[in-house]
Amino acid sequence: MMKRENRQNDHDTKTEGRRAARILARVGMVAAAYTVLTVLFLPMSYGPIQVRISEALTVLPYVAPFSIWGLGLGCMLANIFGGYGIYDIVFGSLATLGAGFLTRMMPSPYLAPVPPVIINALVVGAYLSILTDFPLVAAVLYVGLGEALACFGLGLPLLLFILRRQKILNFLR
């Protein structure tokens, strides 16, 4: 009987290890996608007037909790290329993480884009205003508008598409 219990424990450990590896790989895929999309559209991804195409991915936490960490890591990596230094790397990533946690708690997919739009408009708009001497209200509004275009214009259709595709949902969960 002792051997059977040991085999079951070994099986459970292997299963947990595989599950952790799968999640880590998915975090990496989200981080890579966010980073590549941000850098690929480099001119319009940074500054007080920006539209980050990669921000469309910020709706993913609604269906995939692991994506919160991928988005945060991707934002951190992408902001290394932005030219705004440590403030952008740290505060931009924290804003993305915070928005991800709030997106996860949204009661409807139609509300999933709201947290990234509001948090990034306020946080990113505020520190970019300081770093660039751009007027605060204008920076907040421009960053918010860019976020709304990416999150509602691209992210919401992406999320609704994912919700209609069981295979994609199974992969993300």
Residue at 12: amino acid letter: D
Q: Which tens digit of pLDDT belongs to each residue from 156-166? A: 999 999 999 99
Contact 42, 81 (CB under 8 A): yes
pLDDT score of 84: 96
Number of domains in the chain: 1
- Torsional sign, CA 158, 25, 123, 42: negative
User: Per-residue pLDDT averaged across 99-121, rounded?
Assistant: 98
Helix, strand, coil in percent for the chain, rounding step 5:
85, 0, 15
**pLDDT(96) > 80:** yes
**Which residues does 145 contact at the CB level (< 8 Å), separation at least 6?**
none
By residue range, what is the domain housing residue 94?
Answer: 2-172
Sequence length of the chain is 173
Q: Which tens digit of pLDDT belongs to each residue from 8-40? A: 666 678 888 899 999 999 999 999 999 999 999
